[in-house]
Chain A
């Protein structure tokens, strides 16, 4: 017990917990819509774009988050447009953009600094080394994502469930799809700090999939997925503290266990 109290007495740990809980919530809420719209891979694609943007930011000496967020937002809107045009297949569009961004990022890194700690922290996650200003920006952005999601929840449901009907009956589906893309982009960039570019998509996909095993209504799935996500984050970060395992990977393993558990419950 004293060990626990000790864990929470560190400033970096408190920061990590606050940011982590908020980002987990964002990822879980958006994840439900993304999984149901068959956009799961967008999270993965965006994280690669984020990596490229970070490499460029660090080469040019820009503030990492402040530069990456707008770049990834633009990429998300572009991806959405591309995946709707009938000429390119959705998943092909994502693959094209994400691997190009990754390649540009890798070249930038090797030409300039080499693999410095900052870049590798975005690759594999390092929530424990969050600076004060990054933490504040993360909190503000994730609160904004949460508030927007809650405000537009009925519209997000309608657009996710049956976009054609919504459009036909006078809902501005383009607008809400764009909103979804922007919120996802912000969440992916924030999540990269925690999980790393390689693991962020699991933060978005796992809780939604687990919740869908047992819940029948959309609202229940959203709430359940939020709860699973926060629980798994807390379990993962605690485990990583005591076992000295990497944080992002520990959270993914916690999510995997939760998924296995829910899959078992759902089969009965």
Chain B
């Protein structure tokens, strides 16, 4: 059952079209990997799916009760101020905001959720540290923990492993797969690591200013796009 369907989407910046003819759908429980070269429009599509950027044409259909407040998001980069005073716990907890509804305070369940996600990302020791004083990889984990707090049905990740060491990125892929399988959460992930992508994902969307491929990971393995993308090598 599709929770998200895109029909004939196109996006542009200042009148210049950067992405067109995008047609795909995400079913409940899917793990969709978006691949493509730098500047091919992956982040643009993610922003479109989140409602941060309006499409020029086409439609994005949310179905099966998917609302904005069930979506978690990890941006590729955040334009946060350098001197912002915030502790790691405050940042992670702010991910629970979208489940607050009409309440004014975080509930005990929200706080527990934040602690659990900090533990998952291995940052529970940093909870009271200042977010700005962390290393890039540590900050990435904090933002992921925040994204997990916000996720009820769908998790959008824009290059989640950039800045992580090899061990941490392997862990990250495992955690994301686990969340996908056990918590029954659909995942849309942008990744440059095509080998990991076909290993973990169930579906692949290959972009290059338009949609070059959409299908299952197994089909993608055999496709001409994959071979060309990897410079002739097979996966």
Contacts and interface: CB of A to CB of B under 8 A. Distances in A.
Contact of A166 (B97, B128, B133): B97
Contacts of B36: none
Given A154-B97, A216-B85, A169 B72 contact: yes
A152 B104 contact: yes
B75 A164 contact: yes
A216 B97 contact: no
B118 to A, nearest CB: 15
A169 B50 CA distance: 8
Nearest to B88: A217
A169 B95 contact: yes
Contacts of B90: 157, 161, 217-219
Contacts of A168: 50-52, 68, 71, 73, 156
A217 B52 contact: no
Contacts, number: 90
A53 interface: no
Contacts of A212: 83, 85
B168 interface: no
A249 B156 CA distance: 52
B105 A170 contact: no
A220 B85 CA distance: 9
Contacts of A140: none
Interface string A181-224: 00000000000000000000000000000001001111111000
Interface string B56-93: 00000000000111111101001111011111011101
Interface in B83-113: 83-87, 89-91, 93-95, 97-98, 100, 104-106
Contacts of A81: none
A36 B84 contact: yes
Nearest to A220: B85
A218 B50 CA distance: 27
Given A165-B150, A216-B130, A219-B87, 18 more contacts: A154-B105, A155-B97, A157-B86, A157-B94, A161-B86, A164-B52, A165-B78, A167-B52, A168-B51, A168-B71, A170-B67, A171-B97, A217-B87, A217-B128, A217-B130, A218-B87, A218-B90, A220-B85
For the complex of A and B, the 10 pairs showing the least CB-CB separation, nearest first, are A170-B69, A170-B68, A217-B87, A216-B130, A168-B50, A169-B150, A158-B94, A170-B98, A168-B73, A169-B98
Interface of B: 50-52, 67-73, 75, 78-81, 83-87, 89-91, 93-95, 97-98, 100, 104-106, 128-130, 133, 146, 150, 156
